[in-house]
């Protein structure tokens, strides 16, 4: 039985990845940090699985990372933990850098010193392309990060390449474009829209406040994207891959798709708030996933309108429980 060590288990991707790995017969050692409120909602359904082991740890604790890897000797390591909210990173730049950049360095050092035969996945991001107008973006597109989050991800991405080349380690970075799901954090724009639309539909809320509706993103489904993470670590040679749908849509288009599906009028319920704009916006992301398709046979199954409907329907069910 293979063992996988996963950081960021309580997050959106951690939960989908753990399900995939358990399905494939892995033992999953899942690292969560201590929080004052219980944060395991997304993985509570896995707790009874005898191959799922939750352990405490933190990306800012080198000794703990070292001990965990020494103790569990994983075959695969997936580094998903991060302060992953771009706008928040402008407000907490030091904490974001500490976890995203230095946290990755600490985990790489623990990996190199305890289990260098393992394979390592790094959660890199399309935010690293920032405001580079060149598109579609692929593995060779210049990185021009436009937020503290993106700057820290570029550091971690470069460090992973450096460790791969310097020490011959099996490290692959997935440059993942935005991916969403019913488990997406409620402050990311897609989920904020689907949850608000569902609550408005049921009379639980009246207004939805949003920022820049013109930004364009390449939105895919998290369930499809965790398969790409796993595939990267099954390749003989480590490499970096763009994971995207190859389609871009504005926030306004996502809003319209959801409100139309819900039978709601955008003009009646949506207001723009200056507070939600960012000091520096990334205007357009559009990924070219052809390398992943050719090398690993990876293709997204869910696209824009299917994703919007899936998320709205799930939030309608959730909001329904609230109104009982």
Which sequence positions are flagged as catalytic? Answer: 125, 127, 149
Alpha-carbon distances of 36 from 39, 40, 60, 103, 193, rounded to whole Å: 9, 12, 18, 21, 27
Q: Is 251 in the site for ligand NAP (CB under 6 A)?
A: no
Q: Which of ligand NAP, ligand F7E, none does residue 146 bind to, with CB < 5 to 8 Å depending on kind? A: none
Residue closer to ligand F7E by CB (options 67, 278) is 278
For the CB of residue 3, give the shortest distance to ligand F7E in the complex, in Å: 27
d(CA 321, CA 199): 11
Compute CA 4 distance to the chain's CA centroid, rounded to the nearest angstrom: 18
- Selected from 3, 6, 11, 254, the binder of ligand NAP by CB under 6 A is 11
| DSSP code at position 228 | H
Q: Which of ligand NAP, ligand F7E, none does residue 12 bind to, with CB < 5 to 8 Å depending on kind? A: ligand NAP
d(CA 132, CA 142): 7
Is the separation of the CB atoms in 125 and 150 below 8 Å?
yes
Q: Is 249 in the site for ligand NAP (CB under 6 A)?
A: no
Q: Which of ligand F7E, ligand NAP, none does residue 75 bind to, with CB < 5 to 8 Å depending on kind? A: none
Measured from each CB, the residue nearest to ligand F7E is: 215
Alpha-carbon distances of 248 from 214, 219, 235, 303, rounded to whole Å: 12, 7, 29, 10
Is the separation of the CB atoms in 82 and 58 below 8 Å?
no
- Write the DSSP string, 143-154: P---SHHHHHHH
Give the interface size with ligand NAP as a residue count (CB under 6 A): 27
Residue closer to ligand F7E by CB (options 177, 312) is 177
Q: Is 62 in the site for ligand NAP (CB under 6 A)?
A: no
Q: Which of ligand F7E, ligand NAP, none does residue 110 bind to, with CB < 5 to 8 Å depending on kind? A: none
Is the separation of the CB atoms in 279 and 199 below 8 Å?
no
Q: Is 223 in the site for ligand NAP (CB under 6 A)?
A: no
Binding site for ligand NAP (CB under 6 A): 7-14, 33, 35, 39, 58-60, 80-84, 99, 103, 123, 125, 176, 178-179, 185
């Amino acid at each position: 039985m293979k063992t996988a060590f996963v950081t960021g288990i309580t997050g959106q991707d951690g939960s989908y990845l753990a399900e995939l790995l358990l399905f494939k017969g892995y033992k999953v050692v899942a690292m969560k940090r201590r929080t004052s409120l219980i944060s395991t909602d997304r993985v509570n359904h896995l707790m009874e699985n005898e191959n799922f082991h939750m352990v405490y740890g933190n990306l800012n604790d080198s000794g703990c990372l070292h001990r965990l890897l020494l103790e569990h000797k994983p075959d695969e390591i997936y580094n998903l933990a991060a302060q992953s909210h771009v706008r928040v990173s402008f407000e907490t730049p030091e904490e974001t850098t500490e976890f995203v950049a230095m946290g990755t360095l600490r985990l790489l050092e623990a990996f190199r010193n305890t289990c260098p035969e393992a394979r390592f996945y790094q959660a890199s991001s399309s935010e690293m392309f920032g405001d580079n107008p060149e598109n579609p973006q692929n593995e060779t597109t210049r990185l021009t990060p436009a937020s503290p989050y993106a700057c820290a991800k570029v550091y971690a991405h470069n460090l992973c390449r450096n460790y791969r080349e310097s020490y011959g380690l099996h490290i692959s970075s997935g440059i993942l474009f935005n991916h969403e799901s019913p488990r997406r954090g409620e402050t990311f724009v897609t989920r904020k829209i689907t949850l608000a639309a569902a609550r408005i539909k049921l009379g639980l809320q009246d207004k939805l406040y949003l920022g820049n509706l013109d930004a364009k993103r390449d939105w895919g489904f998290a369930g499809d994207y965790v398969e790409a993470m796993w595939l990267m670590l099954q390749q003989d040679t480590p490499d970096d891959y763009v994971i995207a749908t190859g389609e871009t849509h504005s926030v306004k288009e996502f809003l319209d798709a959801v409100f139309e599906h819900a039978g709601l009028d955008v003009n009646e319920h949506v207001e723009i708030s200056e507070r939600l704009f960012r000091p520096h916006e990334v205007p357009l992301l559009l990924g070219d996933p052809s390398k992943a398709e050719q090398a690993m046979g990876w293709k997204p199954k869910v696209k824009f309108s299917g994703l919007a409907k899936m998320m709205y329907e799930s939030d309608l069910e959730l909001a329904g429980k609230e109104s009982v």
